[in-house]
Structure 1
């Protein structure tokens, strides 16, 4: 049974209605020059923005703590027992994973530790003497305790093995180990690990000394290769910027790049290509106008099978959704992940799964074919609910009309925006398909003015009906399990639940957990603490058994095929990817090196401050800003804008600044630094959501700091008070897309812009070439736009500041106007949900931290329907921070492929959530 927001796992649910007049921070509207906006239009936009942004709201914090502990190390193993089993009904068998939970409200023992099975039924509790030693370490978060039964449940007790996990931070580790030894708690595992680490280090030093002695103390040249060299083929030469170069010459002087050579996690842990090629095919549904390709017919057969899953047959040794029949008693089912057994009932199997075919292979068509091929009459409702990003909702209705024969047309309702009317279950049942947005879904699950969501089912709305199926398009949107949209989606009533996503894993394995919970998988993995314990942490530590378990999980719930697979045979034209390396102009190099030197000095200061247990928060802010400016100066020095050193200096002396107009503007600049640096909220440890900054210059997600203010009225980072909601400063512009207009003139150029223009000039000679230029900064697109005007290029543009009809007009222009050869595109907006096959060339003007975002952007162009060879250019400044960004991207790809490495998410003592190791590498 899927967990709910009102179940035993208590969520800190927050009312996020806010001020009706508050401006949107992630989809603010700006009218085109000269256009007059009526009040009714403005009100409509505000309502739509509130709906669209509701899906990003974080409402639960408890799961964040579990994720932060995913990187903890094993300190020791404690063998003890569970007592009081005669008083409880919970049952578990030998070897089964159990949950050890603090129970401070226990009237008989404040230190009580209760033990539950994976169905949350209590088995008993840990003896008082052991509990008193563990409780304070668990309460402080220093120790995470996991248990498994080491023997059978007896009349009064049961043997249990407790694994004690603690921090990996060297300083905290030493303190914790000393405290554990004082409490007579085992820490033999961490002692052994440290001895082995010291031994390895000594051996490495010996090898280095021997090698230096052999070489006469001389350092070898070219011994270390780049971390991402495996993805390249060709030379390391660079373009010379000669104005007469052809496109072929530019390719020859650029570095051939194939990021996909490094692989992706889903392919590693999913079924192999040989197995996928032999999958059975379904007949093409007679109601379809479009003839399915062979691999799409295979997908249809898989979809139909997974909507009607069957338990393993008697005598079979196979596992279905990780459930397996006992060899000795076929009536007993055991979950191979958690060892949880059911003896008196059959396990509930989830209907649905994850369709993760590569972007551009026709996932939409495959799901449409499922709708018309479904012959299941057991469901009361025949309606399918499709939840999609606002920008692609119209694509679903258009595709349904296009692919289905007119005489079998489906009745489709778009349920979104101010025009939707109150509807009951019987009203929805009149339609075959209902299309809505994540924002609408979240808003309906958490009604305005309610602290807790009402029970399901309800009298009206999306939660009044049990749908035939629910389809989440771009399903990775619910990857944060603590957001409104994720909890809302999980609590939808449906016979079958499907996730469509080309990237089920974007940042870490926790992304996959959210999808598992939504689908309704049973047996224990639907609980985050169990998912962490059985998969995330063991994979981080290289556990082979965890890798095999993950492979079994992916094989049972996920179908993933790649365009490059031989049996797919999409006949897509070739995709060529290049890294085009550029030298700084002398004056740019001077600016860059000055910033770099300042950053390195600040890093040393910051490290010293941490070592002395000081408060280097101000230094860290300086450092973050300079890192952002280093990335921006690689594009153009005009992007750097005004530095925020004045307000930082003021903070060093005053700690809290007065909210004068000047200081408010400076705080907004600081907030924008945190937004563009991809900082996390220090309360929930997730990506910034609805970001705000305090007068003491600490950045939070609004919903998180709102909760803190309700209880204590002081900053949780520096304890500054009084802290009130009306003192929080919101961004001057929408999230991640600054609308700031740099001071631009026709002579404003840079090395990167000159290289970009060189590529455009060369490709313009090739008739029919159209180019999409991606950048994460809309202000850089503004600078490029001036240059395009100067050189006479006709272009279109699409970014987050534009309304839907303006975006549609840009897409039409690129597709139908032969003179419109360029699209300026915001990377964040255009990485999902768009079809850009009218173009056949991509220029990535700057590198994004998460490689999956860039891959999605490229796949907007190189997808089904593309008829021309496609070329991708990554513009990288030589000897700059951009080199290290590529290194970090490549490392992420490798880690994801090998073990879904989980980012710690653990808060630094100073409150920063950026990883110091990454910062050090960026400044090498």
Structure 2
């Protein structure tokens, strides 16, 4: 036994891997392939180094992931103790956040609850009697239990307060309260909250009654004059039917549209990061002598920040500052405490992360700023001097071109593009011959998860990207790893590197869990690198308006993230003005009739699902209605009835033969899931590389690939056989519909007419070029027909085109003066393209995630743009598109109500929330 010291106490370290029956050991057998387990069990399996097999385990619907209960309410606080501390070495202090974890496979107590500190070292366990009460609630997901030490650790035990969080659903809350009351569990917090809610409701009812009384009196006095002052100005802001009066100027169209600044709410990194005044005062670094391009002042500030973050230093003795949330004790300078988790270290300095998140606005030169860091870093390190850059395939060439462009020829860096089937096996010494190695996320994941290997991945390795400790790793478009369980995320996190950098203009796309993945990659220590702790300390408290959580997030962002916007005065990009408008359009009578009929059908399906439960076929019909409602806003002919025919093909047999007809039917069904923004049922996050099985279940490719490697059957219905060759991919690479609706060229729509009205008005201004974005290539086809009929010269880029054709389209937009319009698929053009040849953007339909639209707009309004830029969002008045804008607004506020959110819900509650979202869209 080894000795360990904790404060004034002495601990004995006991090997729990042996057969010592006197210990309360943690034993966890491997889940069988496809076994449904809770997230805590899955995390336990991951902790043992089994990431290799993680994706073949289906997470229990009763738990989900670390954020699955983010919006649960506090029911009460249970004061108890931790026992058996004499057997464990976990270091903990008063006020420290600790983890309470179920241990169902413990051989001494199947109800066991072990208590760990943020470093996952066990402190002890909850007494048997109390554990027997709580275990059933934790296993079912009814309660989330968090712990905080309320006293000093004694010889045998330690006092602890357990916070009990439960559902916010009114019906389930009543049932849960009754069960907890019967078990003698505390309910003081939820009781007080309900008491206050009843009081507020009574007061509101009194106000409503008083208001009605006053209104009745006013009505008698002024009823005779009601409506006398109605004027045409009450209708301002709405176009007339059919798209407005012909021949209107741009100024007149702007006058009838709503001025719109979608980013005025600020992203979380702007709201909680450093303010503009503080950013303006940041020190500047000298421009590196090896750099050919002269850095702008704000880029020199970025370089100084990058250099500082690569060499972080702990706060000096006597300082009250916090560095990466670590603070030195004033009373004992040998003690460091993490201000987020209260975890403390004595006589040992915490490990500081080298690196951070560079989140400057798109188009401000993040690539140049990182190149300047490479040539400014002249320090000699014991590790490699080679920088590894991981980027999307379409952006890899940009890095090598930018490096050659910005560095003086006599100081040229040796660059290796490590990608494709032609790459050779390389050792650490081989990579060390280069200054920069550029690879893709796919290559990285492929090397981390070696095909055919069943043992957990080990690092380092003799060859490949995991054979070397890199000087630095740079993730370009780093939000790609925002799902913490994808191959790319785990592969990036397990790289060996001295410094780690994330480049992204959108560190948060959907929710704060996106930020967690980046925190984990960077290597922040102290507890926030664990998802359940990140959720408990930041995500849930922020959702519930906790001021302290807001301050903590501000401190976190200030220490790891640099975010500047193009509009900031000190940045002084001298970019021309960006004006954004919501252009509202009235349905024509026949369009309104078709829309309302489709809406009524959707509401009927919604009522059926609510009444009978989520039957798979009915639910798919309902999901398919949502994109159809959006499509009818563009053109009523777009919304064919795809799913009915698909389901009729599949309902007679569990697994269909992959005939050409059935393959097309499956692709149609997969398209419904893509357009409905469904989640992968294995990782519970957004679909990544979506595929569909012959039994009609949709997964992210990386997740189902792991299942196939181990069990060869569908984890949803257990259908077999299942192999990679039977997976059906989208009809085109990016999941864009290739449907060609049968539409008379002379038949347009209100939205098409409004779009043509804008083009006609803007055509009066020489030099105006327009990019028209749409989610649906079929709608681009309709627009293309109309552009040809009106003699416009245009180019087009979408996911069905070869790379050479896309390049030719860009060349035409950039060099051909008569080519004034680019038709663009939103999915293809949201990242990686420079479209400054255009100065007007029309968003023909709105995307659920506003960050995607922002990226698309920033392809046009970026460094190099010389003309004022105008953005039009076309919205059918009183339609689902209005609600989409509301969803975007809430996403910008980081509220957890959008479609990709499952936070705060168990599976049943998650389905209820999903239904609530759909009901809201169909109101």
Aligned residue number for residue 681 of structure 2? 682
Per the alignment, residue 757 of structure 1 pairs with 756
How far the C-alpha of 1:728 sits from its partner, in A, is 6.2
Q: Whole-Å Cα distance in 1 between the matches of residues 896 and 686 of structure 2?
A: 23
Find the counterpart in structure 2 of residue 779 from structure 1. 778
Asked if 2 retains the 8 angstrom alpha-carbon contact of 1:350 and 1:496, the reply is yes
1:291 aligns with 2:264: no
Aligned residue for 1:422, secondary structure, equals: coil
Q: Which residues in structure 2 correspond to 1:654-673 (within 5 Å)?
A: 665-673=664-672
Hey, what does 1:103 align to over in structure 2?
A: 103
Deviations 1:604-658 (A, max 9, x none): 333333xxxx454443322222222110011112321234234557878988888
Give the 3-state SS of the residue equivalent to 2:101 in structure 1: strand
Q: Contact between 1:905 and 1:913, CA under 8 Å: does it hold in 2? A: no
DSSP-derived class of the 1:66 partner: coil
Distance 1:58 1:462, change over 3 A: farther
Equivalent residue for 1:635?
A: 634
Aligned to 2:441: 438
Q: Which residue of 2 aligns with 1:525?
A: 528
- Equivalent residue, structure 1, for 2:797: 798
| Cα separation, partners in 2 of 1:662 and 1:201, compared to 1, 3 Å | farther
Question: Corresponding residue for 1:300?
Answer: 303
* Cross-structure match for 2:135: 135
Q: How many residues align?
A: 864
Asked if 1:413 corresponds to 2:413, the answer is no
Residue in 2 that maps onto 1:195: 195
Q: CA deviation at 1:855?
A: 0.8
Bigger shift: residues 902-911 or 145-154: 902-911
1:798–1:724: structure 2 CA closer, same or farther, 3 Å change rule?
Answer: same
Using CA pairs under 8 Å that are at least 6 residues apart, name the structure with larger relative contact order, 1 or 2: 1
Q: Give 1:660 shift.
A: 7.3
CA distance in 2, matches of 1:90, 1:5: 17
Q: Does 1:241 align with 2:280?
A: no
Q: Secondary structure at the match of 1:70?
A: coil
1:591 is displaced (CA, Å) by: 1.2
Q: Distance in 1 between matches of 2:793 and 2:82?
A: 74
Q: Shift in Å at residue 211 of structure 1? A: 1.1
Q: Secondary structure at the match of 2:592?
A: helix
Q: CA deviation at 1:908?
A: 4.3
Q: Which runs of 5+ in 1 are unaligned?
A: 16-56, 222-233
Deviation sequence 1:434-458 (CA, Å, 0-9, x none): 1111111111111222244531111
Distance of aligned partners of 1:10 and 1:128 in 2 relative to their CA distance in 1, 3 Å threshold: farther
**Residues 702-741 of structure 1 aligned to structure 2 (within 5 Å):** 702=701, 704=703, 724=722, 730-741=729-740
Partner of 1:810: helix, strand, or coil?
A: helix
Change (3 A) 1:124 1:217: farther
Partner of 1:593: 596
Once residues 10 and 186 of structure 1 are traced to their aligned partners in structure 2, the CA distance between those partners, rounded to angstroms, is: 37
Q: Verify: 1:165 aligned to 2:158, yes or no.
A: no
Q: SS in structure 1 opposite 2:569?
A: coil
Secondary structure at 2:426 match in 1: coil
Output aligned runs, 1:58-97, within 5 Å: 64-97=64-97
Return the offset for 1:417.
Answer: 1.3
Q: How does 1:385-784 map to 2 (within 5 A)?
A: 385-609=388-612, 614-646=613-645, 648=647, 665-693=664-692, 698-702=697-701, 704=703, 724=722, 730-784=729-783
Task: Give the whole-Å Cα distance in 1 for the aligned partners of 2:487 and 2:250.
Answer: 48
1:115 aligns to what SS in structure 2? Answer: strand
Cα distance, 1:898 vs. partner?
Answer: 14
Residue of structure 2 equivalent to 1:352: 355
| 1:819 corresponding residue in structure 2 | 818
Alpha-carbon contact 1:581-1:878 (below 8 Å) kept: yes
Alignment pair present for 1:8 and 2:9:
no
The alpha-carbon deviation at position 347 of structure 1 amounts to 0.6
Q: How far does residue 267 in structure 1 lie from its aligned partner after superposition?
A: 1.1
Partner of 2:32: none
Q: Secondary structure at the match of 2:119?
A: coil
Query: What is aligned with 2:114?
Result: 114
Q: What is the match of residue 23 of structure 1?
A: none
SS at match of 1:597: helix
**Pair 247,896 (structure 1): closer, same or farther in 2 beyond 3 Å:** same
> In the TM superposition, what whole-angstrom CA distance separates every residue of 1:430-489 from its partner, at most 9, and x where no partner exists?
111111111111111112222445311111111111111111111111000000000111
* 1:13-50 Cα deviation digits (max 9, x unpaired): 459xxxxxxxxxxxxxxxxxxxxxxxxxxxxxxxxxxx
Q: Are the aligned partners of 1:693 and 1:699 in contact in 2 as well (CA < 8 Å)?
A: yes
Superposition deviation, residue 346 in structure 1: 0.5
User: Mind listing any 5+ residue stretches in structure 2 that lack a counterpart?
Assistant: 1-41, 223-234
Moved more, 803-812 or 487-496: 803-812
Q: Which residue of 2 aligns with 1:124?
A: 124
Distance 1:708 1:794 in 2: 49
Conservation of the 8 A alpha-carbon contact between 1:358 and 1:502: yes
- Greater CA deviation, 805-814 or 888-897? 888-897
CA contact (8 A) 1:353 1:497 kept: yes
Deviates more, 1:657-666 or 1:791-800: 657-666
Give the conservation status (yes or no) of the 8 Å contact 2:53–2:456. Answer: no
Query: What corresponds to 1:18 in structure 2?
Result: none
Secondary structure of the equivalent of 1:638?
helix
Kindly tell me: are residues 710 and 473 of structure 1, through their superposed partners in 2, closer, same or farther at Cα, counting changes over 3 Å? closer
- Residue of structure 2 in register with 1:206 after alignment: 206
Q: 8 Å contact 1:635–1:846 — kept in the other structure?
A: yes
Deviations 1:836-862 (A, max 9, x none): 111111010100011111111101110
Between stretches 734-743 and 691-700, larger displacement belongs to: 691-700
CA contact (8 A) 1:876 1:883 kept: yes
Secondary structure in 2 aligned to 1:601? helix
Note the C-alpha offset of 1:705.
5.6
Match of 1:25 in 2: none
SS of the residue aligned with 2:603?
helix
**2:70 match: secondary structure:** helix
CA distance in 1, matches of 2:321, 2:208: 51
Shift of 1:769: 1.1
- Cα separation, partners in 2 of 1:628 and 1:327, compared to 1, 3 Å: same
Deviation at residue 683 of structure 1 after TM alignment: 3.5
CA 848–114 in structure 1, closer or farther in 2 if over 3 Å, else same:
same
Secondary structure of the residue aligned to 2:263 is helix
Greater alpha carbon shift after TM alignment, 367-376 vs 193-202 = 193-202
Quick one: which of 364, 368, 374 aligns to 2:367? 364
In 1, the alpha carbon distance for the partners of 2:691 and 2:331 equals 60
Deviation at 1:89, TM superposition (A): 1.3
Quick one: structure 1 residues 325 and 155, their matched pair in 2 at CA, closer, same or farther if it must change by over 3 Å? same
Indicate conservation of the 8 Å contact 2:315/2:321, yes or no: yes
Distance of aligned partners of 1:64 and 1:285 in 2 relative to their CA distance in 1, 3 Å threshold: farther
Report which stretch shifted further, 257-266 or 730-739. Answer: 730-739
* Shift in CA distance, 761/403, structure 1 to aligned 2, threshold 3 Å: same
Q: CA deviation at 1:553?
A: 0.3
Is the CA contact (8 Å cut-off) linking 2:468 and 2:496 kept in structure 1? Answer: yes
1:254 maps to 2:257: yes
Q: Deviations along 1:218-253, whole A, 9 cap, x unmatched?
A: 9999xxxxxxxxxxxx95243653332222222222
Q: CA deviation at 1:690?
A: 3.9
What do residues 856-884 of structure 1 show as CA deviations (whole Å, max 9, x unaligned)? Answer: 11011101110011011111112211111
Q: Which residue of the partner structure matches residue 894 of structure 1?
A: 893
Structure 1 residues 760 and 615, CA gap change in structure 2 (3 angstroms): closer
Alignment RMSD, CA only? Answer: 3.0
